[in-house]
Structure 1
């Protein structure tokens, strides 16, 4: 027990000595007031250090946050610029295709596109932000300027895209309208040719082919889903059908002309022979009854005399096929009539019979 008390006394003396060393009082024993002061100083130091550490951590966090925001702003602008580039390329092609308001069905689509395209051509690429932000720049760093440019670029791109799409649609409507009008005109041409060529072709199969093309074109025009491509496709064989009919008409005209020339050439020698025979024989040149005439017969090739038997036989056959009531054409009405001088009786009666 005595040893234990002695050890406690030694331990207490050692602790007092340590506190004296900290307080600088040497061998003076610290009182309660000095102890509180020491605690306050220590606490203040700890708090200041903590604040400094916390502040540094806060600044670092802010710097990291703004760096990330800067990177995102640059990325957003890069995407916006890439999208603008695609739409600008589309607009460039559209501007080459649609060059006048007459090419579109709705004039407003053309004027709107022209205005948006004019704005787009003035746009220049913005400078990217520097995202290497220092601790001294962290409080002033901002992405607001680039964010505004990105928003405006996206807005311009959207307006340009819409105007380009609308003007292209309007041009397609106008193109389809123009194509339909051209097809209708060609259909009218085909129908007119089909009607005018009836009975005037050498080969009627050409008209059948033309009719088939007319049916195909009519069906294409009535198709509600008709396009410029489908209408142009149906027109491809049309001109060939038209040319076929025209060629067939020309072939018939040539054939008819050749036949007429051949008939005229064949009739000319016979007419000259008959005229010469009548002149040499002194036979009656013609007999007129009821406004018609019948030529006298040719001479017999052997004797040179008029072949009256043939003449009478021909005349009888002709009269029988051409007679009218109470009228005798040429030399016969109901029998063989002869004059007293041996020539045929041209008055049609039968009182002077041979």
Structure 2
């Protein structure tokens, strides 16, 4: 199978979770014998923070504008499948070209499904439109559950399928390092996540001055009042993620507001921490209990007191091992690549029949 992906970024993991998602998925997809071309918009922000130049599992090329995509017209036209990702600059124009040029299956891969749907409802989405949704053969979504039916019923998607984030077990595994922190959080700053971060980590650190905490991620405003026992790491490259998790007594999972409302929206950090055997403390949302069993594989926390109690208890090792076993069984990049392959093959006859109908 030949796959062309037009995504936000493969080359830079700075300030986005898309790169690590694509890297894990496409590595596993190529390992199944497929050929992959990744086309990335060359923008200054990612160009100045690239940590991957020459992937060994796919071809990576950059384009400076929508017009420049014509250089890859034949590759897009001959591909078995073309995927356009969320947050791609000029994504509506890119999607139109993909749907016009593609001879195979076209898919939209939404790494931010609840955010996307909220922006479409507000008329404020610059990378996807209702008309484009109906034109894609597949809508691949980071969110499962009832949202999939909504995408098909309300927006006319021919087929909406969950394609959750995943983890590369070779990159994310327990590392033999000493515990440096009692609780850590890894994630880029987000306005709607910040109140939860304050409640479940910053306030906890203030309550427990003898314990150690860390927050790793870019774009946090200068005005945040970090307690003295919270270490700030501005950017942590993916190569250091496993060591970071392994040095953490607990890892905190914080979910964006739109994803909490939609439910069934696991973040890649959730699976990464679990794969490292680090016990997880998470905010609460529908569908989480279908991924990890509360009280056995994950701790659910509604407030500061819940987190303080978990840290004092300090008995998370068994929980971390159980979560790791669950994630390695169901949420690896290899498992997700097999799902992607199946979704594409399922859509191929539909695409072929639609083409025959148009020709007739």
TM-score (structure 1 length as normaliser): 0.20
**Higher strand content, 1 or 2:** 2
**Higher helix content, 1 or 2:** 1
TM-score (structure 2 length as normaliser): 0.20
Q: Which has the larger radius of gyration?
A: 1
